[in-house]
Amino acid sequence: MRRVYDFYKESSGNWYIDLPNYPGPKADLQMVGGADEMLDMISEGEERVAIYISDVNSSVPKDCDKLIFKGKSLVDGGGANYTWNKMNVWLCPVTKFVFGDYPKTIYIKVI
């Protein structure tokens, strides 16, 4: 899967992925557990950021960042734990909606 996704920050300070065809509630799309901090860093102060995302190594730009799978989450609701630049990032089950599963590596690049 390769695609560009938009993320936006509301005045409350909460980050969300813009995923109009997601069948669940908006609350599921909130970025938490380190993903919000990662977006604060890579957005460079902007309230919107477009990110190229892929789980296929051969299709990514050379200078992309990587989220590395560390294991499925043991907390209620599931999700998976990743690392990015030595930082822990939890990705919720919406990741499975996007990718079909939890990829071993997620390649990202701000565009």
Number of domains forming the structure of the chain: 1
| Rounded CA separation 41/20 (Å) | 24
- Structure confidence at residue 8 as a pLDDT band (50, 70, 90): very high
Q: Is 97's pLDDT higher than 70?
A: yes
| Rounded CA separation 109/111 (Å) | 6
- Structure confidence at residue 7 as a pLDDT band (50, 70, 90): very high
Average pLDDT value for residue range 30-50: 97
Mean pLDDT of the chain: 93
Q: Torsion angle, CA of 6/14/34/25, rounded to 10 degrees?
A: -70
Q: Is 101's pLDDT higher than 70?
A: yes
Domain that holds residue 54: 2-110
- Structure confidence at residue 100 as a pLDDT band (50, 70, 90): very high
The pTM score is: 0.91
| pLDDT in the model for residue 62 | 77
